[in-house]
Amino acid sequence: NNSLMWFRQDLRLQDNQALAAACEHARRSSVSFSKSLNEPSNASSDLSQVHSQQSAGSVRAVYFAVPKQWQAHDVAPIQLDFIERQLNVIASELAKLGIPLDVIHVASFEEIGDVLAQYLDYWQINKVFASSEPESNERLRDENIAAQGIELALFDQHCYLAPLSVRNLSGDMYKVFTPFAKKWREIAKQNQVETLAKPAAIAAPLAQPSEINLRCNKRCSNEWQVGEEAAHQKLRQFAKDKMHDYQASRDFPAIEGTSRISAYLAIGILSPAQCLQTLLAYFPDALVNDDSPGRCWLNEIIWREFYRHLLVAFPRLSKNGNFNLLANNIDWRNNPQEFQAWCEGRTGYPLVDAAMRQLNQTGWMHNRLRMVTASFLTKHLLIDWRWGERYFKQKLIDGDLAANNGGWQWSAGTGCDAQPYFRVFNPISQCEKFDPTGAFIRKYLPELDGVDLKLIHKLKIPNQAQLFDNECYFSPIVDHKFARTRAISQLSVMKRGS
Ligand code: FAD
């Protein structure tokens, strides 16, 4: 029994059900081999059996580099760099377990089937183990591979509770978060959270593998430490020091009040089960007590699951479709110059601009700001949420179709359990409320150095000529009150019954 572990967005050795199963599958042949050794028989034939059985019980691992597909899916260069660095870490960890990792370069998903079939044939591997993925292209890829007769065992571990396992009384997927979360907690609390340890070595250690290069457009991600230990350390530190106050501090971008583990979850350095286990180690009542200080963070983990379950239940979400079909009638303005100004942080609304510059400079953006900038693009500028979703994906280190699509459609009001179309974030009061000291704005808008905070908050920033050092700031791209009225009028096509 030779097995193949196909790594995807599950780049870890601990708590990886697919890897554990691949090792178990190979070991099963070692068990039959040790049994046969105990049986009295001819010594030399036993030896030949030792050899053939040992090689029959090997595990190999692959990762497919698919640059054309990454481009089509707008995977950010910073995320690709993060993936590459993590692949190098796991390649060397796997080598210690006697498992070689091959990175195979193909252009797109369509090519994988044939290449994989040849690979399995060459290494005489009879079974492939991998994590399932919720996106439709990825699901189609797996269906095609299975249709080719390749035995592919998939493990639903990108969520703690598998997609479609949390259903309402009619057996359907929930369309509102709160009852989904309630049911999710009810199911989750029935069992102790268990996570798997790193598998034991399967064979003698291999030589240190050579450096992996994904040969694609990358952007340095060194600000984010790779490796499972670093990820766990970050998670534990957050649980120990910050989770208790998360509800109070999570909305202030100048404070590091959130965990910043999204990048690790997005490529699977951490599993959702590990996150839940760590949360419960510090706040054991988070699943059962509404007032537990761990509850607020737990809900964010459940939001992540909600959006992934939705992606599986409603495949159109993976294909640019509005969740709310009435949104198909929206007449987006889609002004390219205004879109460009938004991308570059030149809207004249300091919180929006500082946020976009945080995204452009660091590859990450605070959640409150993702909501503010997404609302601004879709409601103030009436630009299709898909433009913003795409731009975010191209920049984010934690880019993830489910959460990104969910967040964008929530903000635009087109999504499942979304912010209603008539609620338009006020980027001026959001700024006063969530960056009261101006610390965040000043960090990313150095041209506002020396400008009185009250003027910044009131959007009464001196015009270009009055600012010093040839640095200028922009006048607001659109008047807030005007934009709000326009948005409500244009987006009212989503009114129920319209
Ligand atoms: P914490 O606040 O510590 O939360 C813990 C974890 O819960 C996060 O790491 C994340 O996995 C999950 N989570 C938190 N909030 C949400 C949420 N609203 N929806 C789904 N999962 C959530 N998150 C991504 O991981 N990838 C994306 O591409 C992405 N795009 C977004 C786009 C928009 C327009 C919006 C409004 C939100 C988006 N989010 C996305 C959700 C959220 O902003 C990030 O998960 C969060 O900011 C990551 O920071 P953190 O790890 O410190 O989160």
Is there a single domain that holds both residue 355 and residue 488?
Answer: yes
Tokens of 277: 């286990």
Run of H or E including 355 = helix 350-362
**Ligand 1 mean position, distance from CA 431 (Å):** 20
Which pLDDT score, from 0 to 100, does residue 46 have?
A: 34
Residue 132 falls within a domain, yes or no? Answer: yes
CA atoms within a 13 Å half-sphere pointing along the CA-CB vector of 238: 24
Instruction: For this complex, say whether ipTM is above 0.90.
Output: yes
Residue 203 falls within a domain, yes or no? Answer: no
Residue 141 falls within a domain, yes or no? Answer: yes
What are the φ/ψ torsions at residue 196 (nearest 5 degrees)? -95, 145
Number of residues that make up the chain:
498
Which pLDDT score, from 0 to 100, does residue 34 have?
A: 40
Whether 408 sits among the annotated catalytic residues: the reply is yes
Helix (H, G, I), strand (E, B) or coil at 154: strand
Task: Please identify, by atom number, the ligand 1 atom nearest to the C-alpha of residue 366.
Answer: 47
CATH code for the domain of 447? 1.10.579.10
The C-alpha angle with vertex 308 and arms to 329 and 318, in degrees rounded to 5, equals 45
| Contact call for residues 154 and 132 (beta carbons, < 8 A) | yes
- Residue 436 domain boundaries: 325-494
Task: Please identify, by atom number, the ligand 1 atom nearest to the C-alpha of residue 388.
Answer: 34
Which pLDDT score, from 0 to 100, does residue 45 have?
A: 33
Is there a single domain that holds both residue 68 and residue 174?
Answer: no
Residue 419 falls within a domain, yes or no? Answer: yes
Query: Residue 397 carries which side chain, given as an amino acid letter?
Result: I
Whether 289 sits among the annotated catalytic residues: the reply is no
Residue 483 falls within a domain, yes or no? Answer: yes
Segment-wise mean pLDDT, segments of 10 residues, the chain, 498 residues:
97 98 88 40 34 62 97 97 98 98 96 97 97 97 97 98 97 97 98 97 96 97 98 98 98 98 98 98 98 98 98 96 97 97 95 97 98 98 98 98 98 95 96 96 90 87 55 84 97 81
Question: Is 261 part of any known ligand binding site?
Answer: yes
Question: Is 432 part of any known ligand binding site?
Answer: no
Whether 332 sits among the annotated catalytic residues: the reply is yes
Is there a single domain that holds both residue 59 and residue 183?
Answer: no
What are the φ/ψ torsions at residue 64 (nearest 5 degrees)? -95, 120
Which pTM value belongs to this model?
Answer: 0.94
Is there a single domain that holds both residue 489 and residue 356?
Answer: yes
List ligand 1's pocket residues with C-beta within 6 A: 250, 258-262, 265-266, 300-301, 303-304, 307, 367, 370-371, 374, 392, 396, 398-400, 403-404, 406-408, 411
Which pLDDT score, from 0 to 100, does residue 463 have?
A: 61
Is there a single domain that holds both residue 386 and residue 287?
Answer: no
Run of H or E including 177 = helix 177-188
Is there a single domain that holds both residue 345 and residue 379?
Answer: yes
Residue 375 falls within a domain, yes or no? Answer: yes
Is there a single domain that holds both residue 306 and residue 188?
Answer: yes
Cα distances (angstroms) measured from residue 303 to each of 374, 379, 424? 18, 23, 22
**Rounded distance between C-alpha atoms, residue 124 and residue 119, angstroms:** 8
| Contact call for residues 287 and 192 (beta carbons, < 8 A) | no
Is there a single domain that holds both residue 294 and residue 408?
Answer: no
Which pLDDT score, from 0 to 100, does residue 469 have?
A: 52
> Atom 35 of ligand 1 has which residue's CA nearest to it?
407
Contacts of residue 443, Cβ cutoff 8 Å, sequence gap at least 6:
254, 354
Helix (H, G, I), strand (E, B) or coil at 64: strand
Instruction: Name the domain boundary from 266, 287, 313.
Output: 313
Please report the DSSP string for 406-468 in residue order. HHHHHHHT-STTPPPTT----HHHHHHHH-TT-HHHHHH-GGGTTS-HHHHHTT-PPPGGGSS
Which DSSP state fits 164? T
Is there a single domain that holds both residue 173 and residue 150?
Answer: no
CATH code for the domain of 16? 3.40.50.620
Sign (positive or negative) of CA dihedral 155, 161, 164, 169: positive
Which pLDDT score, from 0 to 100, does residue 461 have?
A: 77
Is there a single domain that holds both residue 284 and residue 386?
Answer: no
Is there a single domain that holds both residue 54 and residue 133?
Answer: yes
Q: What share of the chain is helix, strand, coil (3-state, %, to 5)?
A: 55, 5, 40
Buried b (16+ CB within 10 A) or exposed e, 118-150: ebbeeeebebbbbbbbbbbbbbebbeebeeeeb
**Which residues pair with residue 412 across a beta bridge?**
none
Whether 300 sits among the annotated catalytic residues: the reply is yes
Residue 222 falls within a domain, yes or no? Answer: no
- Number of structural domains in the chain: 3
Instruction: Name the domain boundary from 135, 155, 175.
Output: 155
- Between helix 350-362 and helix 427-434 the angle, nearest 10°, is 70
Query: Residue 244 carries which side chain, given as an amino acid letter?
Result: H
**Rounded distance between C-alpha atoms, residue 155 and residue 130, angstroms:** 6
**Rounded distance between C-alpha atoms, residue 26 and residue 124, angstroms:** 12
Comparing C-alpha atoms, which of 114, 104, 90, 120 is closest to residue 2? 120
Is there a single domain that holds both residue 355 and residue 277?
Answer: no
Instruction: Name the domain boundary from 257, 282, 313.
Output: 313
Residue 43 falls within a domain, yes or no? Answer: yes
**Ligand 1 mean position, distance from CA 263 (Å):** 9
**Ligand 1 mean position, distance from CA 24 (Å):** 34
Question: Is 160 part of any known ligand binding site?
Answer: no
